[in-house]
């Protein structure tokens, strides 16, 4: 009586009154929905409160969502905590692929993530904390300087990192306003209010830089991505939101990927040895240039295998149906939230031999790539909502990981057996290790 079956909805477990299937999602939804897919099929439907959720867990279902019906399913389901004054200026959470979204995305591809912009950046210094390394790499492209090395005038690294992290935590936290849209305006948990405060604090950290560049452009030629935005007439609100999204998306995902890669390499000594040999034989100096990355097939295979087993965003980002359509002969109703479980796809024994083992060799003899054409392997998504930062993110992971392995030898503390290394996951802003990886290193002579 509470939930009348809608015609041709994908199959799924029977929802309970009021709460729907919330009790079946749990703390690790990527795992629970993968198990439900084994029982009900590659495309399932759930109820989170009154919200319809469609989850795809196969390449065919993913292709239907991200390619075949991309036009109708490319809108974003925006968590209530992100519904602030700044929502119209967002790129990642833009609900529609409108003119503002197209102009921002086009400029990102043309300027910030171009090969020329990436090649001009300095070689990664591996002694820096990965987060600071990534943030400064992005800030050099965006602001033209190392942001986290600025004086207290613009805030401390630790405080800024915490605020960036907290905006995502609040936005992705279970929220009654997301499960029952009728309650959206009430902000019962206060997440929207708290998020807005964090966002304003973050914007104030680089407000002076934006003002400085606006004045400088009156007499100087533009140099950084910020200058291009100003020259193209973007407002401070647009610039602030783009910077916020680039820094949050570009730091956490890269840091998570590198940590998982290092953990797998420590656990799999034979793979670590193979990678060390490739780097020693093909890299002539202690600094790794971007032009040398293509000469390292085993490094790239290790990164692909890490992304297969440990995608930083196991569901990508949530989509929303703007029009009722069909996927695999099932109805996806207008307004439904849609997720693609790439974690489940990456561990499907029908697609991958020995799927739970870390075997980079599987990619050496394969043409599978992560650019959105092979739907059994889409860590960055596909279609018009595919991650625009793919070139920058992959280049950073390649350079940092190669430098860590080339310059240092790594062991676990207290002579811990690598086979006993805890590899449990923690679902959150990204798919992280439940216990942070701690290593002892020695510089390679």
Helix, strand, coil content of the chain in percent (nearest 5):
50, 10, 40
Q: What are phi and psi of 416, to 5 degrees?
A: -65, 135
Q: What are phi and psi of 368, to 5 degrees?
A: -60, 130
Helix 236-267 / helix 390-407 crossing angle, nearest 10 deg: 40
Cβ neighbors of 300 (< 8 A, separation 6 or more) are: 293, 363, 398
Q: Please name which of 128, 349, 358, 127 lies closest in space to residue 263, comparing C-alpha atoms.
A: 358
Question: Token pair of 396, please?
Answer: 């950073």
Question: Token pair of 259, please?
Answer: 């940590």
Q: How many CB atoms lie within 10 A of CB 218?
A: 6
Give the DSSP letter of residue 433.
Answer: E
Q: How many CB atoms lie within 10 A of CB 252?
A: 22
Cβ neighbors of 205 (< 8 A, separation 6 or more) are: 154, 155, 160
Can you list the alpha helix ranges (DSSP code H) found in 149-190? 157-172, 176-179
Query: By three-state DSSP, how is residue 384 classified?
Result: helix
Question: CA quadruple 56, 60, 66, 70: dihedral positive or negative?
Answer: negative
CB-CB contact of 282 with 295 (8 Å): yes
Cβ neighbors of 126 (< 8 A, separation 6 or more) are: 133, 400, 403, 404, 407, 408
Q: Please name which of 147, 171, 152 lies closest in space to residue 77, comparing C-alpha atoms.
A: 171
Question: Token pair of 371, please?
Answer: 């650019």
The helix or strand, by DSSP H or E, that contains position 46, with its residue range, turns out to be strand 43-48
Q: Return the C-alpha torsion angle 419, 420, 424, 429, nearest 10.
A: -80
Q: Distance between CA 25 and CA 277 in Å, rounded?
A: 44
- Please check if 302 is assigned to a binding site: no
Q: Distance between CA 399 and CA 288 in Å, rounded?
A: 7
Residue ranges for the binding site for heme?
387
Residue ranges for the binding site?
387
């Amino acid at each position: 009586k509470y939930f009348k079956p809608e015609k041709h909805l994908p199959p799924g477990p029977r929802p309970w009154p009021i709460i729907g299937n919330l009790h079946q999602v749990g703390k690790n939804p990527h795992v629970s929905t993968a198990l439900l897919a084994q029982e009900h099929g590659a495309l399932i439907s759930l109820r989170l409160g009154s919200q319809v959720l469609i989850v795809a867990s196969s390449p065919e279902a993913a292709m239907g969502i991200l390619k075949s019906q991309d036009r109708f399913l490319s809108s974003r389901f925006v968590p209530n905590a992100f519904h602030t004054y700044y929502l119209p200026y967002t790129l990642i959470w833009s609900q529609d692929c409108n003119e503002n979204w197209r102009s921002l995305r086009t400029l990102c591809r043309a300027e910030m993530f171009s090969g020329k912009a990436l090649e001009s950046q300095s070689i990664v210094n591996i002694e820096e904390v990965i987060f600071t390394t990534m943030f400064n790499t992005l800030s050099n492209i965006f602001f033209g300087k190392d942001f986290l090395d600025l004086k207290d005038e613009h805030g401390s690294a630790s405080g800024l990192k915490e605020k960036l992290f907290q905006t995502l935590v609040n936005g992705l936290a279970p929220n009654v306003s997301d499960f029952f849209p009728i309650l959206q305006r009430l902000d019962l948990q206060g997440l929207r209010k708290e998020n807005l405060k964090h966002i304003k604090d973050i914007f104030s950290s680089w407000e002076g830089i934006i003002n400085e560049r606006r004045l400088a452009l009156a007499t100087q030629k533009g140099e950084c991505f910020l200058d291009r935005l100003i020259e193209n007439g973007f407002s401070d609100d647009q610039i602030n939101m783009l910077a916020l999204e680039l820094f949050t998306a570009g730091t956490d995902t890269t840091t998570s990927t590198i940590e998982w890669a290092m953990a797998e390499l420590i656990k799999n000594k034979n793979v670590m040895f193979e990678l060390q040999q490739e780097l020693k034989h093909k890299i002539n100096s202690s600094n790794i240039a971007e032009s040398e990355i293509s000469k390292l097939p085993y490094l790239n295979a290790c990164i692909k295998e890490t992304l297969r087993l440990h995608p930083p965003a196991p569901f990508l980002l949530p989509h929303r149906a703007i029009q009722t359509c069909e996927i695999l002969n099932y109805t996806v109703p207008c307004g439904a939230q849609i997720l693609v479980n790439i974690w489940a796809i990456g561990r499907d024994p029908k697609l991958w031999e020995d799927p739970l083992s870390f075997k980079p060799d599987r990619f050496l003899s394969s043409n599978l790539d992560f650019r959105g054409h092979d739907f059994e392997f889409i860590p960055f998504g596909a279609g018009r909502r595919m991650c625009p930062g793919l070139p920058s993110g992959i280049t950073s992971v390649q350079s940092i990981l190669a430098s860590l392995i080339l310059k240092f030898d790594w062991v676990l503390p207290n002579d811990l057996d690598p086979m006993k290394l805890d590899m449990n996951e923690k679902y959150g802003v990204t798919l992280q290790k439940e216990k942070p990886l701690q290593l002892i290193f020695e510089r390679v002579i």
